[in-house]
Amino acid sequence: MSIERIAIIGLGLIGGSIGLALREMLPDIATTGWDADRDVRRKAAERGLVGKVSDSADDAVRDAQLVILCVPVGAMGAAAQSIAGALPPGAIVSDVGSSKHSVAQAIAKALPDAVVVPAHPVAGTEKSGPEAGFPELFRHRWCILTPEDATPAEAVEQVAAVWQGLGAKVEIMEPAHHDLVLAVTSHIPHLIAYTIVGTASDLEDVTRGEVIKYSAGGFRDFTRIAASDPTMWRDVFLTNRDAVLEVLGRFTEDLTALQRAIRNGDGDTLFELFERTRTIRRSIIEEGQDDARPDFGRSDH
């Protein structure tokens, strides 16, 4: 049986993009949506992010076969709680959170009897809100599902089929492993971007005007990432604490080794690292995962 009715809770960048993508790519699926923010609900209705923007979380999920929670990871428990009274028996609950272990715990606590298939579309931008979404966001990008061993296979297959219908490639992973992998590939890079942009703006001997005027490519790329939503990223670091601290420990050691190499004039160490990292960039481009592809990073998003 395939899914015919989906409710989206949280109509910002990701919820809105899912709604638009469903309407465009899987138009036979009926969509409802709700957001805690009245202004977001109004904008979502204006943009037609879902077929019907409901007046309450209860109304949005009442007939749903799949509910996707698209709120900041720190709000997943509250969002799950808000649908507890009206969730139809047998409905699948999913989410899109950037960290998985603590989100799964929060959802399970609020909805102990629900069938839960957590998901993380590894696709996004630095923008947020109901104006930011676009239907192609998930095309050719990975979506990682992190179900428990006991989760019915049919529910996992149904959620996978929806993501594949939106153009995504699906992979299954243990939640703890997901959190470690994403700490390396996404969370720590964001932390580094927030740090370097903060450091640049705090330097006493370099003015803010100079930082803006002379920002070369590298710094500009960091400012894009450091413009990401503060609520979302505060929650990511607080919910993926252990994995982030583990990777940060390794990163700090490696940074100290580079500091030593620079101080000692040890060019070989610097050169060998830069040569090795260059091949990683090339592999990403060969995989087609770079953001420079034509349908990503369009100037209107």
Ligand X SMILES: O=C(O)C(=O)Cc1ccc(O)cc1
Q: Which does 74 bind (CB under 5 to 8 A by kind): ligand X, ligand NAI, none?
A: none
Among 5, 7, 12, 18, binds ligand NAI (CB under 6 A): 12
Q: Which does 79 bind (CB under 5 to 8 A by kind): ligand X, ligand NAI, none?
A: ligand NAI
- What is the closest distance, in whole angstroms, from the C-beta atom of residue 57 to ligand NAI in the complex? 7
Give the pairing type, strands 142-145 and 119-121: antiparallel
- What is the closest distance, in whole angstroms, from the C-beta atom of residue 190 to ligand NAI in the complex? 10
Stretch that binds ligand X, among 77-85, 116-124, 157-165, 262-270 (CB under 6 A): 116-124
Residues 28-57 that bind ligand NAI (CB under 6 A): 35-37, 40
Residue 128 contacts ligand NAI per CB under 6 A: yes
Among 186, 188, 222, 229, binds ligand X (CB under 6 A): 186
Residue 265, C-beta contacts closer than 8 angstroms, at least 6 positions apart: none
Token output for 225: 């990432």
Nearest-5° Cα angle at 53, 62 to 239: 75
Return the number of the residue (11 or 60) whose C-beta is nearest ligand X. 11
Give the chain as a DSSP string.
----EEEEE--SHHHHHHHHHHHHH-TTSEEEEE-S-HHHHHHHHHHT-SSEE-SSHHHHHTT-SEEEE-S-GGGHHHHHHHHTTTPPTT-EEEE--S--HHHHHHHHHH-TTSEE--EEE----S--STTS--TTTTTT-EEEE---TTS-HHHHHHHHHHHHHTT-EEEE--HHHHHHHHIIIIIHHHHHHHHHHHHHHH-SSS-HHHHHHT--HHHHHHHHHHTS-HHHHHHHHHHSHHHHHHHHHHHHHHHHHHHHHHHTT-HHHHHHHHHHHHHHHHHHHHTT--TTSTTSS-TT-
Among 21, 91, 96, 114, binds ligand NAI (CB under 6 A): 96
Residue 70 contacts ligand NAI per CB under 6 A: yes
Return the number of the residue (13 or 111) whose C-beta is nearest ligand X. 13
Q: Which does 186 bind (CB under 5 to 8 A by kind): ligand X, ligand NAI, none?
A: ligand X
Residue 13 contacts ligand NAI per CB under 6 A: yes
Residue 125 contacts ligand X per CB under 6 A: yes
Binding residues with ligand NAI: total (CB under 6 A): 30
Residue 124 contacts ligand X per CB under 6 A: yes
- What is the closest distance, in whole angstroms, from the C-beta atom of residue 42 to ligand X in the complex? 26
Residue 124 contacts ligand NAI per CB under 6 A: yes
Residue 225 contacts ligand X per CB under 6 A: yes
- What is the closest distance, in whole angstroms, from the C-beta atom of residue 213 to ligand NAI in the complex? 29
Residues that bind ligand X in the complex, under the rule CB under 6 A: 98, 122-126, 186, 225
